[in-house]
Amino acid sequence: MQELISRALPQGVFVVTVRNGEEINGMTAAWVSQVSFKPALVAVAIAPPRHTFGMIEEAGIFCVNALPKDAFELAKHFGFKSGRKTDKFKGIEYSTALKGSPVLKAAYAYLECSVVSKCEAGDHVLFIGEVVDGNELDPEAEPMIFRWNDFFGGK
Ligand SMILES: Cc1cc2nc3c(=O)[nH]c(=O)nc-3n(C[C@H](O)[C@H](O)[C@H](O)COP(=O)(O)O)c2cc1C
């Protein structure tokens, strides 16, 4: 079913980053979408067990980092371990967006968002954020497209 859904609804691969005080973290996410034009709103679906979830709840800010198609290892790095136990930013180059969120050097574009609402959606929660900062860092880059089997092979 997951393979079918990811084929039927093509999506990019993103790293959603967050700063809560001194702590920074990021996690790979495919379930990211624009949901309003005016104001510009972006929704991210984050499962409550993720360390990133509590950090976004507390900080009220998140940043969507769009990955180019050659960033597969980075997507796995941020998607298969938790910031609860590991500093995933160790050795990773980044800068800082307007409100303090990390912006990966490897991202071709980013959107920093201020949370305006959230709603439960099954086993995930949708954080809806208004875009407060953003930039395209590499206009030539081709986006990575999420394919279930590339990451979760055969299930
Ligand atoms: C390609 C890919 C896409 C993912 N998409 C999502 C997503 O949209 N929402 C989510 O909650 N987790 C998603 N995950 C899982 C999280 O990235 C993963 O659980 C991560 O380790 C959480 O890190 P954290 O505990 O530091 O927040 C995805 C993982 C991968 C590899």
For a pocket test of ligand 1, which of 24, 27, 65 has the largest count of ligand atoms closer than 8 A to its C-beta?
27
Coil, strand, or helix at residue 1?
A: coil
Question: Among 83, 79, 114, 81, which residue's Cα sits nearest to residue 100?
Answer: 114
For a pocket test of ligand 1, which of 2, 9, 14, 50 has the largest count of ligand atoms closer than 8 A to its C-beta?
50
Q: Are 142 and 6 in contact (CB under 8 A)?
A: no
- What residue numbers bound the domain in which 8 lies? 2-152
Tokens matching residue 76:
């796995």
Domains contained in the chain, number: 1
Distances (CA, A) of 97 to 3, 30, 63, 72, 106: 34, 21, 8, 23, 14
Would the pTM count as exceeding 0.95? yes
Per-residue pLDDT tens over the stretch 93-142: 999 999 999 999 999 999 999 999 999 999 999 999 999 999 999 999 99
Q: Which atom of ligand 1 is nearest to the CA of 83?
A: 26
List the CATH number of the domain containing 91. Answer: 2.30.110.10
